[in-house]
Structure 1
Amino acid sequence: MTQQAPTPTPAQIRRWRKYLADEIAEGAVYRELASNRHGEERAVLLGLAAAETRHEQHWRSLLGEHATKKTRPSMRRTMLRFLARHFGSVFVLALAQRAEGNSPYAGDTDASRRMAADELVHEEVVRGLATRGRNRLSGNFRAAVFGANDGLVSNLALVMGIGATGVATSMVLFAGVAGLLAGALSMAAGEYVSVRSQRELLDASKPTQITLAAAPDLDLDANELVLVYKARGMSDADAAHRAAERMGIYSCDCNPSMSLQPELKETAEAEEHEEIGSAMGAASSSFCFFASGAIIPILPFIFGMGGTPAILLSALLVGVALLATGGVVGLLSGASPTKRGLRQLAIGLGAAAVTYALGLLFGGSVA
């Protein structure tokens, strides 16, 4: 005789409905993301959606007739679906990674062990997809965030320090504009020199074609070309193969993977330089990023405000910007955006508070 399953409690029904709604929403998120992807990424996302459908069926079978009543998914899943539908960016994957990592199934006996294991694996799958996106924008994103933060913090500290001395509003505005230009130009110059120097180092390290001209006249019994390739890190066998090929000897029984492929080599070198970028491009980007942050602290003074109200509004505007940039960094890194935002806020306002205190000190002593 088949034993009848126990009647679920109202608390279980509510919890299962919530799980079901979340699984439906997560599956929809992955399908939305897959619609904007191609190839391997699309296949992976559709695989995740299929797994969420299996989990959905588990809760439907437990709920039985109670599954017909719809329940709203959690706010996080609702927001994820909205972002996936309208943006489909790495931010969505970063949020999905956190959602998968916070699955309650491990501590819920109503969820199977297989489902709990699935969620752990899903977190790693989404982490891998999110890492691809992070790698694609890491360089530009890093420059944007750090440039803007430098502008926010340094110019707020300057404005608050000067403003605390009690000087005229025009002097505070002049100091803020000067700080914006000085900082932006300094950042631009530093990026230009850095990128230009890196490109020059790569050019200096790139092998020349002198071996092509010297190869015909070299002694076969004392082949100096072998030393050239060994100096570049090749093994004895690979160096001998490359040297023999340079000298026109193609019967060498060495590693065939070391055969010359000039077109591939040129492509790799071009990609290497492309990853570094141009010096002028890096300089102009750094200038704009710093200036975009540095202009925020002086906005109240630009629009005619002065004194303590202008300083307070300046600190408020910068605080909001720091929370936003910190939250974005937290999202992309898979960490808590709230914690990262508050950390960024504490650091920025802490630095500004120090200069404000110094301004009060020196302003009082001058008076």
Structure 2
Amino acid sequence: MPSFESSSVSPEDRQRYLEDLNTDIYRAVAQPTKSQIRRWRRYLAEEISEAQIYASLAERSEGRDAEILHEVAQAEQRHQHHWRTLLGEHALPEPKPSVSARMLEFLAKHFGTVFVLALAQRAEQRSPYAEDPDATEEMAADEAIHEEIVRALSTSGREKLSGNFRAAVFGANDGLVSNVALIMGIGASGASSSMILLSGISGLLAGALSMAAGEFVSVRSQREMLDASQPTQVTLRVAKDLNIDKNELVLIYKARGMSDEAAEHRALERFGYLSYDCDPSLSFRDDVEAEEGAGVNEHGALGSDIGAAASSFAFFASGALIPILPYIFGGSGTWAMIISLILVGIALLGTGGIVGLLSGASPAKRGFRQLAIGYGAALATYLLGLIFGATVV
């Protein structure tokens, strides 16, 4: 390629080079190969779908989030224009998005949850534009930025779900793995179907009660520790009876982490000699209210100990119930064990996929990893059941 910065290149040579370059571009655009047409139409379909997804999410959002999503949708429309230009007449009829893309559109339009954002983030991660010569560098950069935008928008939703929802998923998963392992071990030992069912129900109740008791003790202990460290209002109650020259009121505030100056200032407030805190923007009364409310958010975040215990019981039991369903409906022998494994496998794929979505990882990989762990535990207890069953015989 000649350098136009060099004085050795004449204006005629420069013009001739640009004409040749434009001719090559025209030929590439005017005569695309069948492979290019298929690839460009696939890209166009994906851009149409993504624009619709972001537009639907924007309609279900508010404030700044809605504005951001609208901007991203418009960027996807610019990408559409690029592929339509390259395709020309081949852009018609308009390509249809894939089944998975249409499903995502439906979810975005009717639900608009963090899961849709997580799936959209995965789609942006898989963008091939950086390696495709027919996509511009600007488009590749757009897709990389879109991934970070979606990642940021989904952060708050993930944080909200990461507590209770993750507890639900992991609780159900514990019930699935522990009870299917128990059933496989008992079944391999040659026990009857009624004994397997009894063992499964016992495992369900024992595990669920254990989870509930553990959660109750955990939350109650945390609340008790917070209560023990919670500042009391003794400073307000006894301040009027203290000797201003000889008292330990200042020591209380120092123990709470205040500097010497701030502690003395606060003590004078309590005696009524000052009306404002060290921070001029915080009045005495506001400070009292803030102090009286200290710890409320911490307690609220913990939730109810009884509620936590009940939810843990329900989560574990819901998972532990699945492996024994074939036996509840009268199944027996090898077929009941196979059906149990199939049901558990489907559930494990689901819980693993959900965890993958919440963590921003591949749902498929997390699902199969969860499946391998669950089946691995079942296989281990099955082999132990065979060994102990043969030993007993």
**TM-score, structure 1 length as denominator?**
0.92
Distance in 1 (alpha carbons) for counterparts of 2:195 and 2:88 = 73
Distance 2:326 2:371 in 1: 19
Whether 2:60 is the aligned partner of 1:36: answer: yes
Which of 316, 336, 355 is the matching residue for 2:362? 336
On the 8 A contact 2:230/2:294 being kept in 1, the answer is no
Contact 2:162 2:358 in 1 (8 A): no
Q: Secondary structure at the match of 1:6?
A: helix
> Does the 8 Å CA contact 1:165/1:360 hold for their aligned counterparts?
yes
User: Alignment partner of 2:330: what SS?
Assistant: coil
Q: 1:52 to 1:86 in 2, by over 3 A?
A: same
Partner of 2:350: 324
- Give SS of 2:204's match: helix
Which of the residues 54, 77, 80 maps onto 1:56?
A: 80
Instruction: Look up the SS of the partner of 2:274 in the other structure.
Output: coil
The answer on whether the counterparts of 1:241 and 1:252 sit within 8 Å (CA) in structure 2 is: no
Which SS does the other structure have where 2:162 is aligned? helix
- Structure 1 window deviating more from structure 2 (215-224 vs 42-51): it is 215-224
Q: Is residue 312 of structure 2 the alignment partner of residue 292 of structure 1?
A: no
Equivalent position SS for 2:74: helix
Select the residue among 204, 217, 220 that pairs with 1:196.
220
Matched, 1:80 2:104: yes
8 Å Cα contact 1:238-1:255 kept in structure 2? no
Aligned residues: 367
Structure with max Cα Rg? 2
d(CA) in 1 for partners of 2:291, 2:61: 30
Distance 1:49 1:221, change over 3 A: farther
In the alignment, is the contact (CA less than 8 A) between 2:40 and 2:87 conserved in 1? yes
Which amino acid in the other structure matches residue 53 of structure 2?
V
Q: 1:143 aligns with which of 152, 167, 192?
A: 167
Q: For the structure 1 residues 243 and 99, does the alpha-carbon distance in structure 2 shift closer, same or farther, using more than 3 Å as the test?
A: farther
1:354 corresponds to 2:374: no
Deviates more, 1:314-323 or 1:269-278: 269-278
Distance 1:20 1:244, change over 3 A: farther
2:143 paired with 1:119: yes
Within a 5 Å distance, the mapping from 1:1-367 to structure 2 comes to: 3-4=22-23, 5-7=25-27, 8=29, 9-10=32-33, 11-218=35-242, 220=244, 224-250=248-274, 254-257=278-281, 259-260=283-284, 261=286, 262-264=288-290, 269-367=295-393
SS of 1:172's equivalent in the other structure is: helix
Report the CA distance between 1:221 and its aligned residue. Answer: 5.6
Query: Identity across aligned pairs (percent)?
Result: 63
Tell me, in whole angstroms, the C-alpha distance in 2 between the residues paired with 1:124 and 1:188. 39
2:10 — aligned with what? none
Amino acid aligned to 2:317 = A
User: Normalised by the size of structure 2, how large is the TM-score?
Assistant: 0.86
Query: Secondary structure of the equivalent of 2:308?
Result: helix
**CA RMSD after TM alignment:** 2.3
Residue range with higher mean Cα deviation, 188-197 or 303-312: 303-312
Q: In 1, are the aligned partners of 2:268 and 2:274 still within 8 Å (CA)?
A: yes
1:251, 1:304 → 2: CA distance?
76
Q: In structure 2, do the counterparts of structure 1 residues 242 and 96 end up closer, same or farther at CA, with 3 Å as the change threshold?
A: farther
Distance 2:239 2:333 in 1: 77
Moved more, 284-293 or 270-279: 270-279
Question: Is this contact kept in 1: 2:275–2:283, CA < 8 A?
Answer: no
Q: Alpha-carbon deviation of 1:266?
A: 5.4
Q: Indicate how the Cα distance of structure 1 residues 305 and 14 shifts in structure 2: closer, same or farther if over 3 A, else same.
A: closer
Using the alignment, how far apart are the partners of 2:246 and 2:71 within structure 1?
59
- Secondary structure at 1:53 match in 2: helix
What are the superposed Cα offsets for residues 278-336 of structure 1, whole Å, 9 maximum, x if unpaired? Answer: 01111111111111111111111111121222122211211111111111111221111
Letter in 1 for 2:369: R
Q: Residues 225 and 6 of structure 1: is their aligned pair in 2 closer, same or farther, counting only changes over 3 Å?
A: farther
Contact 1:163 1:172 in 2 (8 A): yes
Deviations 1:222-253 (A, max 9, x none): 66433322322234444344333323233678
Gaps of 5+ in 1: none
